[in-house]
Amino acid sequence: MRHISLDELKQIQLNIMKTVHQFCVDNGLKYTLAYGSMLGAVRHGGFIPWDDDIDIIMPRKDYDVFVRNFRHEYINVYDSRKDIDYCYPFAKAVDSRTVLEENTALENHGVDIDIFPLDDMFDDYSECLNFMSSVMPLKKKFRYKLVRPSYKNVWWKKILIRLANLSVSFYSLRELVDKLNRRYAQLNDNGSKYVCMAVGTECTLKGIFLRSLFEDFEMVPFEDCSFMCIKNRDAFLKQVYGDYMQLPREDKRVSPHAINNVYWKE
């Protein structure tokens, strides 16, 4: 199999994103660049130079239409509610011509972009916090079950990861993701003051947003393309990152993702 370089990886992700964007436009679906992708668009005009992924968020009703109806020659969309061997609580759009190796317990699908649902919450912020806190133990179990030691980990971290794996050995990933999906299905208060990125790993305060943030969208430049993004990017990025225009120290400018090898299938 032929190795895929970082620049080539980003181009594959851009091509996936272009296809997802066109499907959304053709079907009247909303989405926004999110997290590092939104930050990259604002601060760098595209990818954060040392990052290697694309994240988008879709309102749950648009997300459900997307994962149910998207079809493409070689880009597959995986969702844990319809794909028995896929156990993330959010969707991925994957280039099936590629192989991507990660340090997780899940099957390696290929180069992908992450697609997160945005769920309705409640009018009372304390209710939102209570719900997010209530799913955190399940999220931790899922994370402990998912992660695997890497050659990059120091010896003591490898031991901690193995102990975490052992602590959830009597659960299956399928069982945990099904429990999470059932909890998220309870969030159906259309028109609530607050919405949330319930499926994310962010702390509760960073995953709960005012609905008004996701009411106005516009196209923003990203590399040589333009994609949908919420207009009030400043409020979103300040909530998630604080002073988001300040660059991290050079020793912190590394990908947060655990990609080992990426190849073209042959």
Q: What is the mean pLDDT of the chain?
A: 90
End-to-end CA distance of the chain: 6
Residue 253 DSSP class = -
Task: For residue range 62-100, list pLDDT tens digits in order.
Answer: 999 999 999 999 999 999 999 998 989 999 999 999 998
What span, in angstroms and rounded, lies between the C-alpha atoms of 32 and 61?
A: 14
Interval 150-169 mean pLDDT = 82
The alpha-helical segments, DSSP class H, found in the chain are 6-27, 35-44, 60-69, 125-146, 155-167, 173-184, 204-207, 233-241
Radius of gyration (Cα) for the chain, nearest Å? 18
Task: For residue range 107-133, list pLDDT tens digits in order.
Answer: 678 999 999 999 999 999 999 999 999
pLDDT band at 104 (very low <50, low <70, confident <90, very high): low
Question: What are the residues facing 130 on neighbouring strands?
Answer: none
Residue 258 has pLDDT above 50, yes or no: no
The residues near 31 (Cβ < 8 Å, ≥ 6 apart) are: 20, 21, 24, 56, 57, 58, 62, 115, 228
pTM of the model: 0.92
Lowest mean pLDDT among 6-10, 33-37, 158-162, 216-220: 158-162
Q: What is the pLDDT of residue 143?
A: 87
pLDDT band at 259 (very low <50, low <70, confident <90, very high): low
**Is residue 25 within 8 Å of 6, Cβ to Cβ?**
no
Lowest mean pLDDT among 6-15, 27-36, 192-201: 192-201
Task: For residue range 28-68, list pLDDT tens digits in order.
Answer: 999 999 999 999 999 999 999 988 889 999 999 999 999 99
Question: What is the residue extent of each domain of the chain?
Answer: 2-264
